[in-house]
Amino acid sequence: MTRTLSPLFRPLSIRSLELPNRIVMSPMTRSHSPGGVPGADVAEYYRRRAAGGTGLIITEGTAIEHATAVDNPLVPRMYGDDALEGWQRVVDAVHAEGGRIIPQLWHVGPLWGAMTHGDVDPALTPMKPSGVWGKPGVTSYSEDYVAQATQPCRAMTDEDIADTITAYTQAARNAREVGFDGIALHGGHGYLLDSFLWDSTNQRDDEWGGDLERRTRYPSAVVASIRNAIGDDAPIFFRFSQHKQQDYTAQIAQSPDELKTILTALVDAGVDVFDASIRRFDAPVFDGSDLSLAGWAKKLTGVTSMAVGSVGIGASLRESMAAGSAPAEDNIPELERRLSADEFDLAAIGRLHLADPTLATTLREGSDLPEFDRAAHATDLI
């Protein structure tokens, strides 16, 4: 039974971005770009998803030009002629298949060192708003790593803040110059933009911290600077989350009103789409409502929102990492129900896109969902 009439296959326009369907490939770190340069294998990897019918591809996190943006030399960067030439080949390959693609710009902030492949320069200071890693809670990090990471360092200076805003902005310019169809920012999971929103990592008492409104100013400044640099044509996506890698039970907003304060500031700065990251796309967020995180984002701001988290899979990412695999779960009808009700507008799917490059076609045809096997699907670019 096909899903041709499914809300997943309704077109959608966001500024100049014309999408043929609501299926998005969620950003996933792949670590296959030696020296930060995406090669032919990366171009082919993304091309296959575009050929398979995915409406929009959001790339893996890409480093902005800052010394502590990422700590893995296999993560691609969005600066330097060699890396930009690589991205040009990626964009051209996706566009040749009729696909659309935007990059996720990334600075890991307080979590610098967590993904290290080799030594990091001890002379470099991680970018932490207040020099703290955040209060650890439920986390997948080892006790030894947490003990090391929670050692305080200096807080970010005004110069650090200005430098990182400039780096984000230049990366966005670079992305548009090589033909990307928009910009995505990683503002969740405890990374740099998110660390200004979370009160456990932002304990500043200046214009960049204090009450919730002031904690929104840094990510809003990044968005506004990018919007000014790229103009009004292309959309800006912003990933946010309640949970942090330091603590999966953490929250940046204790109530809908607090979430509205955060998201409204980002919309005013220029965000078009909220990528609401949560472990299960249909999980309720606040007591008294079954609305998802993406649903709340749309209800509170009126802008386009995107749900992500265990679509078609019966285990969260953290659970599948522990088990090594994740069974298929046909929760697509629930996803479609919420799309039909306009609770949210887009469905970002991660692990199933690794298991099946033609996932959009699989969904359209109503075929059996693939099963995600970490050993088979998460290591190589298939």
Q: pLDDT tens-digit profile of 326-342?
A: 677 899 999 999 999 99
Residue 273 located in a structural domain: yes
Domain that holds residue 12: 7-377
Nearest one of 232, 237, 216 to 304, comparing CA atoms: 237
Rounded Cα–Cα distance for residues 190 and 194 (Å):
5
Measure the CA–CA gap between 256 and 269, rounded to whole angstroms: 20
Section 23-28 average pLDDT: 98
Q: How many domains does the chain have?
A: 1
Of 86-90, 118-122, 174-178, 233-237, where does mean pLDDT reach its minimum? 118-122
Q: Which helix (H) or strand (E) holds 308?
A: strand 304-308
Between 113 and 137, name the one with better pLDDT: 137
What residues are annotated to the active site?
A: 191
pLDDT band at 117, cuts 50/70/90? low
- Please answer whether residues 64 and 30 qualify as being in contact, where contact means their C-beta atoms are separated by less than 8 angstroms: no
Asked whether the predicted pLDDT for residue 41 surpasses 90, the reply is yes
* Distance, CA of 259 to CA of 251 (rounded, Å): 10
Express each pLDDT in 350-367 by its tens digit.
Answer: 999 999 999 999 999 999
pLDDT category of residue 191 using cuts at 50, 70 and 90: very high
pLDDT of residue 290 exceeding 90: yes
Q: 186 has which bridge partners?
A: 239
CA distances from 347 to 83, 150, 214, 238, 338 (A): 29, 35, 31, 14, 10
pLDDT on residue 137: 96
Specify if 2 maps to a domain.
Answer: no
Question: What pLDDT, on the 0 to 100 scale, is given for residue 319?
Answer: 65
In a domain, 1, yes or no: no
Sign of torsion over alpha carbons 302, 303, 309, 314: positive
- Poorest-confidence range of 54-58, 116-120, 303-307? 116-120
Which segment of 68-82, 221-235, 312-326 scores lowest on mean pLDDT?
312-326
The percentage of the chain sitting over the pLDDT mark of 90, rounded to a whole number, equals: 88
Q: Above 60 in pLDDT, residue 266?
A: yes
pLDDT in tens, 204-248: 999 999 999 999 999 999 999 999 999 999 999 999 999 999 999
Which CATH number goes with the domain that contains 259?
A: 3.20.20.70
Q: SS3 for 209?
A: coil
For 1-16, write each residue's pLDDT tens digit: 567 789 999 999 999 9
> How far from the centroid of its chain's Cα atoms is residue 250's Cα?
18
- The answer to whether residue 162 sits within a structural domain is yes
Determine the pLDDT at residue 121: 83
Place of tokens 């566009």: 95
The chain-wide mean pLDDT, for the chain, equals: 94
Looking at residue 318, what is its pLDDT? Answer: 61
pLDDT for the residue numbered 317: 60
Whole-number Å distance between alpha carbons of 347 and 290: 18
Query: What residues contact residue 369 under an 8 Å CB cut-off, 6+ apart?
Result: 312, 328, 329, 330, 332, 352, 362
pLDDT of the residue at 82: 98
In a domain, 382, yes or no: no
